Amino acid sequence: MGRQIAIVEDEPVIGQNYREILERNGYAVSVYCSRPEALAAFRKKLPELAIIDVGLGDEVEGGFELCRELRGMARHLPIIFLTARDSEFDAISGLRLGADDYLTKDISLEHLVARIVALFRRLEAIREPESSSEVLQRDHLVLDTARMTATWMDQFVPLTLTEFWLVHALALHPGHVKSRQQLMDAANAVLDDNTITSHVKRIRKKFLEIDPEFSAIETSYGFGYRWNPAKS
Amino acid sequence: MSLRTQLLIVSLLTLALPWAGCQYVREMEGVLRKGQEDSLLATARAITHVLANQPEALYRYPEHMRQLGDTELDVYAHQLQDPITIDGFADDWEPFRHDFVALPMRGLRDPYPSLPEQEGRVRYIAGVDAEDLYLFVYVEDPGEVLYHNPTRDGTANGDHLMLHLRSEGRDVERYWIRTAAPGDLHAVRETGPQQRRRVRQERRIRGHWQPHATGYQVELRVPLSMLGPEFGFTIMDMEADEGGSRYQAAWSGTVVPEFQAPLGYLIYPPPILSRLLEPFRQPGLKVRVTDRSGRLLASLGQLSLSDWLGAFDDTAPRLQLHDFYRAILDTVPRKHLIYLEQNGRLRGTFIEATLLGQEQAIWRRQADARKAIIAVAHPVAGAERVLGAVILEQSSDAVLTLTNHAITQLFNTTFLAIGLAIAGLLGFATILSLRIRRLRDATERSVTSEGEIHHELIPVGTGDELGDLSRSFASLLRRLDDYNNYLQTLASKLSHELRTPLAVVSSSLENLEQETLSEQARICSQRAREGTGRLRAILTALSEATRVEQSIQATEPEPFDLREVAEGSVHSYQAVFPAHRFRFVAPDRPCPMTGSPDLIVQMLDKLVDNAADFCPEEGWIEIALERERGQYRLSVANEGPALPEHMQEQLFDQLVSVREKRGDSPHLGLGLYIVKLIAEHHGGSISAHNLPDASGVEFQVVLPARQTR
């Protein structure tokens, strides 16, 4: 039996489609249509990963509420928001509540599966600290590609999966400008330019909280971004 | 025409009020004048009645009154007011200087056999006081003045005057006035029979002989007691021939120098007339009586002097107001005197008509005078014919109505009231149009030229129709704003709502592809996937504007170099659009500004995207950055078809596109709208226009160097 994934989705057809594709990839999937129903099930048994829609039936922000409750029950449970809402504000709210990723329903199922795989991998890597970790070090930055964790000046940087992949793509070749398209490919995401910009902004903010002097990610106007080796 | 002008015109209707007032006053004026005329005429009738009963008051001698009268021979003596000094000078006669009677000099023998009758060669004037008759004669001698030579024969052998006097029922008495030298003199008379004629001095008749450049002048005094009804004088000019003998050369005067020549009457105002008129004396009333030939016999009273002086007394403002009323209301004709006094006679149609027996009443007014004068004349009817005329004159205010205090007060009040009414109406109209204009301005201000409602109209608090109008404007704008907002969010709401069913379709398709499908089914599924891809792109584009708006609100401005940002972007465009030639023009100095560089890049992307779409292959795209007076001008020009004229303003609105060809990627006309949003967020503006040579199109963004918002 594969890993247990819970899908909370008020649109039954989408839920069924996701269930089918995930089951085909070897996961055990349970689909819930409303927040109370999902919550009741989670109280009995926690899933290993939750995919939550923001709007649940009549509750416009039921997904956010559910995420908060779920995070209260399990601190390290990977949570993915999968929603039709594509506004910046919603994405920021979702990620602040402790979600690991915020995806719009535009994402292809392949990409979704890739993310789920990556999240589980990170989860495993954290659980097994002794395993052979692949570490990428750039001055103060240390990226554990197995666990998908990042530290700056030995402090943990709480990056989401998408953010981790973006940082990884930039830091892999310091000084090289990565275009937005290249970064998008690296993050396995279908995002427009604007979303990349806001992701980079969030990443900078997270680093700045640790180190106010942080300036390693540099904007190259018209092209994209690059990891600035000189400043580190 | 503005509301104010219209109301002003309407307010002019109130002027009908003073017009009606004027009409009324004129009517009343007529009545008052008629009243004054009537009362004066009544006085005149009373006087004529008295005079008709006592004709001797006009004619001292009944035979004179009965005579049909050739009055040319008569001598008229003016009533003298001041004493006359017998000195041979005319100074004492100054008040009568216009009344001198001119007589011709008539020739008798050579050297003047045919001396033309020259007017003015001799002038005389006569006057009486209580006791004496005074006579002043001015003579221009056509030849030489010859004085009396006592050594020679003759009563008077030089130039001399002869007085002819006749009392009732007696012969004519003659007195000579002659002198051997200039100076005082006495008249002489002849006494005794023809053969033993003697010359004796008559001391009662005194005179003074005064020579002047061309002749001489004589002043005489004769006691009235010597005078009868008839009187005349002859002036004789003597000349000397070669042999020294003297002869009569020319004559003048009222009596022809012939034997038994007729005499005229001596006419002067009878004293009894003044006594008869005395009861009619009134202040401001001038009474004059003439005989039947128009000679002034009596003059009583004066037109009050202050009436004439009043014309020069302009100090009182009240009078100026009166002047104004007078100018409006006065109907008295501005005429000069209608009759003149000449040689003691009153002349003019007014007098002549009266002497023919007609009653007269005339209003007249002298130019510039405030006062009008009413003149009334009534004939004195005798038994057979008109004996004379009584003329009464009285001055009064030119506009009688104004002498009535109450009516003047009414006038003042009416004008004040009308002034207030017009001022009030005008003020009200001004306030009204001001309010309407303010409402209009507020309405225009609250809607931008793009039709957006950018601030709310504050309704006016008043409860009248204008307040209602402003309130309904406000609610109208509010509703319009709501609808605008609805329209603006419609796209993003729509895309949001469509995303879920799209996810259903695309996830179902992806699931389907996991199944084993026939080749045909796989192709169909592939096509369906492409369709959903396009649909998704459309939805993304639809909500893009909203997302840009959100991200604009989320960005914090930071200082950056616009030139660096633009330059960096331009380098990448050549790679993205290899089919076009890019040019970049920028100043060599940095262009610092505050804002969001990411948004500026995004704006530039959209502009270049747009330019590339319209630019033909191998065409050029020019990106230029200029700095001028505190602002940057960032322009993107491309070769290509010109913009339709009417679309240039709407280009930057949502969902407006001028694209003709339909490409693969959807165009919802949001690109330029986003450009506008970003430009406006930076306090700038955007415009589009065709290049002057019509070779292409230029989009121009003007950004302030310093962030103002």
CB proximity A85 to B under 8 Å: yes
Task: Give the whole-angstrom CA distance, residue B338 versus residue B349.
Answer: 8
Least confident of B149-163, B179-193, B226-240, B487-501: B487-501
- Euclidean distance between CA atoms B297 and B275, whole angstroms: 13
Cβ-based contacts of A106 with chain B (< 8 Å): 499, 503, 536, 540
**What per-residue confidence (pLDDT) applies to B217?**
93
The residue of chain B nearest to residue A22, with distances taken between CA atoms, is B511
Q: Which of B59-68, B130-139, B364-373 has the highest mean pLDDT?
A: B130-139
Q: Is the dihedral of CA B648, B653, B659, B660 positive or negative?
A: negative
At residue A147, the pLDDT reads 72
| Cross-chain Cβ contact B571/A219 below 8 Å | no
- Measured between beta carbons, the chain A residues lying within 8 angstroms of B576 are none
Task: Using a CB–CB cutoff of 8 Å, tell me whether B511 touches chain A.
Answer: yes
Q: Which residues of B touch A88 (CB under 8 A)?
A: 547, 550-551, 554
| Amino acid identity at B570 | V
Per-residue pLDDT, B399: 60
Mean pLDDT by 10 residues, chain A (232 residues): 84 87 89 89 89 84 88 83 77 77 79 84 69 72 79 83 83 82 72 70 85 82 76 44
Does the pLDDT of residue B662 top 60, yes or no? Answer: no
Measured between alpha carbons, how far is B237 from B144 in angstroms, rounded to an integer? 9
DSSP H/E element including B220? strand B215-223
pLDDT for the residue numbered B223: 93
Q: Does residue B317 register a pLDDT over 70?
A: no
Label residue B177 by pLDDT band (50, 70, 90): very high
What's residue B657's pLDDT? 63
* CB nearest A221 (choices: B500, B508, B568): B568
Q: Is B670 exposed, middle or buried (0-12, 13-18, 19+ CB in 10 A)?
A: buried
pLDDT 10s digits, B545-601: 777 777 777 777 888 888 888 888 887 787 778 888 888 888 888 888 888 888 888
Mean pLDDT of B651-660: 63
Q: What is the pLDDT of residues B472-484, one digit of tens each?
A: 888 888 888 888 8
Closest Cα to residue B105, out of B204, B228, B253, B245? B253
pLDDT-based confidence at residue B319 (cuts at 50, 70, 90): low
CB of A40 within 8 A of CB of A68?
Answer: no
Q: Under 8 Å CB-to-CB from B615, ≥6 apart: which residues? A: B580, B621, B638, B639, B640, B696
Residue B340 has pLDDT above 50, yes or no: yes
Is the CB of residue B598 less than 8 Å away from at least one CB of chain A? yes
d(CA B559, CA B590): 12
Q: Compute the nearest-CA separation of B487 from chain A (Å).
A: 18
The number of helix segments (H) and strand segments (E) in chain B equals 13, 26
Q: What is the pLDDT of residue B160?
A: 92
The DSSP secondary structure of chain A, one letter per residue, reads: ---EEEEE-S-HHHHHHHHHHHHHTT-EEEEESSHHHHHHHHHH---SEEEE-S-BTTBTTHHHHHHHHHHHH-TT--EEEEES---HHHHHHHHHTT-SEEEETTS-HHHHHHHHHHHHHHHHHHH-TTS---EEEETTEEEETTTTEEEETTEEE---HHHHHHHHHHHHSTTPEEEHHHHHHHTT----HHHHHHHHHHHHHHHHHH-TT---EEEETTTEEEE-TTT-
Cβ contact B511–A223 (<8 Å): no
B581: closest CA of chain A, how far (Å) = 17
Q: Under an 8 A CB cutoff, do B601 and A86 touch?
A: no
Cα–Cα distances in angstroms (integers) from residue B641 to residues A93, B605, B612, B634, B695, in the given order: 46, 20, 12, 21, 7
Q: Which positions in chain B touch A33 (Cβ < 8 Å)?
A: none
Helix (H) or strand (E) holding B17: helix B16-53
Please answer yes or no on whether A222 and B569 come within 8 Å at the CB atom.
Answer: yes
Q: Do B511 and A17 touch (CB under 8 A)?
A: yes
Which pLDDT does position B176 carry in this prediction?
A: 92
- Structure token digits, residue B165: 């006097």
In this structure, of B284-288, B381-385, B504-508, B658-662, the range with the lowest mean pLDDT score is B658-662
What are the E-state strand segments in B6-117?
75-79, 101-107
Question: Is it the case that residue B666 has pLDDT exceeding 60?
Answer: no
CB contact under 8 A, A21 and B510: yes
Cis before B111? omega within 30 = yes
Q: How far is A195 from chain B (nearest CA, A)?
A: 10
Give the pLDDT mean for B418-433: 85
Q: What percent of chain B has pLDDT over 70?
A: 84
What the block records as the tokens of A9 is 């989705």
The secondary structure element, H or E, covering residue B622 is: strand B620-628
Q: Give residue-wise pLDDT tens across range B208-256.
A: 999 998 899 999 999 988 888 889 999 998 888 888 888 888 888 888 8
**What is the secondary structure of B144-194 as a DSSP string?**
------TTSSSS--SSEEEEEEE-TTS--EEEEE--SSSEEEEEEEEES-S
pTM for this model (two decimals)? 0.48
Q: Output the pLDDT for position B116.
A: 56
Q: Is A192 on the interface with B (CB under 8 A)?
A: yes
What was the ipTM of the complex prediction? Answer: 0.72
Q: Average pLDDT for residues B181-205, to the nearest whole number?
A: 87
Inform me whether the C-beta atom of residue A45 falls under 8 Å from chain B C-beta atoms.
no
Give pLDDT, residue B665.
53
Asked if the Cβ–Cβ distance from A89 to B550 is below 8 Å, we say: yes
Please name which of B56, B59, B75, B57 lies closest in space to residue B265, comparing C-alpha atoms.
B75
Residue from B500, B540, B576 whose CB has the most chain A CBs within 10 Å, to mutate:
B500
Alpha-carbon Rg for chain B in angstroms: 59
pLDDT greater at residue B658 or residue B466: B466
Across B88-107, average pLDDT: 85
* Residue B708 reports pLDDT greater than 50: no
Q: Looking at residue B42, what is its pLDDT? A: 93
Highest average pLDDT, of B71-75, B199-203, B568-572, comes from B199-203
What's the average model confidence in pLDDT over B639-652? 73
Task: Please name the residues between 98 and 157 in chain A that touch chain B, using a CB distance below 8 Å.
Answer: 104-106, 108-110
* Cβ atoms of B65 and B58 closer than 8 Å: yes
* B573 touches A at CB < 8 Å: yes
When CB atoms are compared, the residue of A88, A89, A109 closest to B507 is A109
Angle at A126 (CA atoms; ends A108, A67), nearest 5 degrees: 55
Q: How many A/B residue pairs have CB atoms within 8 Å?
A: 89
- Please name the residues in contact with B126: beta carbons below 8 A apart, sequence gap of 6 or more: B75, B76, B77, B78, B133, B134, B135, B136, B266
Of A20, A24, A88, the CB nearest to B550: A88
- B259-275 average pLDDT score: 83
Distance in angstroms (rounded) separating the CA atoms of residues A20 and A18 = 5
Residue B449 Cα, gap to closest chain A Cα (Å): 30
Distance from CA of A217 to the nearest CA of B (A): 14
Q: How far is B705 from chain A (nearest CA, A)?
A: 19
* Residue B314: per-residue pLDDT: 43
Task: Report pLDDT for A231.
Answer: 46
Q: Which residues of A touch B551 (CB under 8 A)?
A: 88, 194, 197-198
CB-based contact B499 A18, cutoff 8 Å: no
| Strands of B527-596, DSSP E | 558-561, 581-585, 592-595
Residue B667: pLDDT band with limits 50, 70, 90: low
Q: For B503, which of A14, A220, A222 is closest by C-beta distance?
A: A14
Q: What is the rounded average pLDDT for all residues in chain B?
A: 80
- Residues 6 or more apart from B592 whose CB is under 8 A from it? B559, B560, B561, B562, B705
Residue of A nearest to B604 (CA): A222
Q: Which residue has the higher pLDDT, B71 or B133?
A: B133
What φ, ψ does residue A68 adopt, rounded to 5°? -60, -45
- Contact, A64 vs A93, CB < 8 A? yes
**Partners of residue B597 in chain A, C-beta under 8 Å:** 219, 221
Stretch among A26-40, B62-76, B334-348 having the lowest mean pLDDT: B334-348
Which chain B residues contact residue A21 at CB under 8 A?
507, 510-511, 514
Q: What pLDDT was estimated at residue B204?
A: 92
